[in-house]
């Protein structure tokens, strides 16, 4: 059986084709028949993965998520992209997952889920007829050790007791990332919400930052009350603005890099904490050190609180109550004393 003329078919491609032919022979299948059938369907795993990415592109809320799916289905899965999708079996999946299953458990778990989704997509279109080899329950769960889950979320958080000292340390930096990180801490917002924030979202008169629904994880507008400390960060930036973005990057037409705040923390030798983790710091502080109701703290994080019936009747976002909570948090972060924090521990 010919493998194709050189240089139209590279040596690497010929080696891959020869490997597939030997695999068919081992399984007592005629490699030429299998090759001809694969040519008729014309779909490798890479073909299906690329089609899947196009079909699902709109389902993912941010560029980071899209990049992660694309990386898994291109670079991570590079060794199987030329394999006919109908022939992907457990050995292919294990070859990908085993090297990272224990060393990078979160990466491996997400990769497994993405492989399963692509193979389900292929089955739904009639390109596969055998069981999904990336399925966990009752299949890979019998072959791979149970993944160790993180004890508290995916983002390491700084203890709220340490936040004031860290916040003060940021004051000594002139970096744009330092201002963005201070603003993120004061507003308990997500990294992407802060970095992609634009000046037209800021209302100085009403002391409000309104994040549009398309940039929110919950897909609804979120109003953030701005404290004195937050406005002290924004005003100098506004007066010297060169971009529509509140925190522009090196190129004013683009926002600050998604990794800028994390890299700043690394340069400051901060370990065991991440930018996103300050949301947990805020939530722990609100629960441990104040008498604000739980639902107010959850609304400050833009979390849905209550069942569908309760949500249907409660239309208000409790802005003024949240404003008092955020003022108390800002006083804590900046080391200012106030009477807003009510200790629950004597």
User: What are the structural domains, with CATH classification, of the chain?
Assistant: 1-37 (no CATH), 42-142 (1.10.150.130), 160-334 (1.10.443.10)
Digit-coded pLDDT (tens) for 124-151: 877 887 889 999 988 999 999 886 544 4
Of the pLDDT bands very low, low, confident and very high (cuts 50, 70, 90), residue 154 is low
How many C-beta neighbours within 10 Å does residue 303 have?
Answer: 13
Asked whether 193 and 180 are in contact (CB, 8 A), the reply is no
Residue 133's pLDDT is what? 93
Q: Strand pairing partners for 245?
A: 198
Please provide residue 241's backbone torsions phi and psi, each rounded to the nearest 5 degrees. -65, 140
The two tokens of residue 195 are 């970095």
pLDDT greater than 80 at residue 309? no
pLDDT greater than 90 at residue 303? no
Of the pLDDT bands very low, low, confident and very high (cuts 50, 70, 90), residue 20 is confident
Peptide bond into 309 cis (omega under 30): no
- Please compute Rg for the chain using Cα positions: 26
Q: 72: closest CA among 50, 56, 42?
A: 50
| Average pLDDT of span 51-63 | 81
Of the pLDDT bands very low, low, confident and very high (cuts 50, 70, 90), residue 37 is low
How does DSSP assign 104-141, residue by residue? SHHHHHHHHHHHHHHHHHHHHTTS--S--TT-TTTTGG
Structure pTM?
0.57
Of the pLDDT bands very low, low, confident and very high (cuts 50, 70, 90), residue 338 is low
Q: Check residue 103 and report its DSSP letter.
A: T
Of the pLDDT bands very low, low, confident and very high (cuts 50, 70, 90), residue 345 is very low
């Amino acid at each position: 059986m010919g493998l194709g003329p050189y240089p139209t078919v590279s040596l690497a491609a010929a080696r891959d084709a020869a490997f597939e032919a030997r695999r068919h022979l081992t399984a007592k299948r005629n490699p030429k028949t299998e090759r001809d059938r694969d040519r008729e369907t014309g779909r490798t795993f890479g073909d299906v993965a690329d089609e899947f990415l196009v079909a699902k592109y709109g389902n993912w809320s941010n560029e980071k998520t899209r990049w992660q799916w694309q990386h898994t289905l291109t670079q991570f899965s590079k060794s199987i992209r030329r394999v006919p999708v109908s022939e992907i079996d457990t050995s292919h999946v294990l070859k990908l997952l085993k090297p990272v299953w224990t060393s990078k458990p979160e990466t491996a778990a997400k990769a497994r889920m993405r492989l399963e989704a692509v193979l389900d997509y292929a089955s739904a279109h009639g390109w596969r007829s055998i069981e999904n080899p990336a399925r966990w329950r009752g299949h890979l769960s019998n072959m791979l050790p149970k993944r160790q889950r993180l004890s508290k979320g995916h983002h390491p958080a700084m203890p709220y007791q340490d936040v004031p000292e860290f916040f003060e340390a940021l004051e000594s930096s002139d970096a744009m990332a330092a201002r963005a990180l201070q603003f993120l801490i004061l507003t308990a917002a997500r990294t992407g919400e802060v970095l992609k924030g634009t000046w037209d979202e800021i209302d100085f008169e009403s002391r409000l930052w309104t994040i549009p629904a398309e940039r929110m994880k919950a897909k609804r507008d979120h109003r953030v009350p701005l404290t004195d400390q937050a406005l002290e960060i924004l005003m100098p930036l506004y007066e010297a603005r060169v971009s529509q973005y509140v925190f522009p990057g090196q190129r004013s037409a683009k926002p600050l890099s998604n990794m800028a705040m994390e890299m700043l923390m690394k340069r400051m030798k901060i370990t065991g904490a991440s930018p996103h983790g300050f949301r947990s710091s805020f939530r722990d502080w609100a629960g441990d050190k104040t008498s604000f109701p739980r639902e107010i703290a959850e609304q400050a994080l833009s979390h849905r609180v209550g069942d569908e019936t309760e949500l249907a009747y409660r239309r208000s976002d409790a802005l003024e109550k949240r404003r008092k909570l955020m003022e108390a948090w800002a006083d804590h972060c900046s080391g200012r004393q106030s009477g807003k924090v009510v200790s629950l521990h004597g």
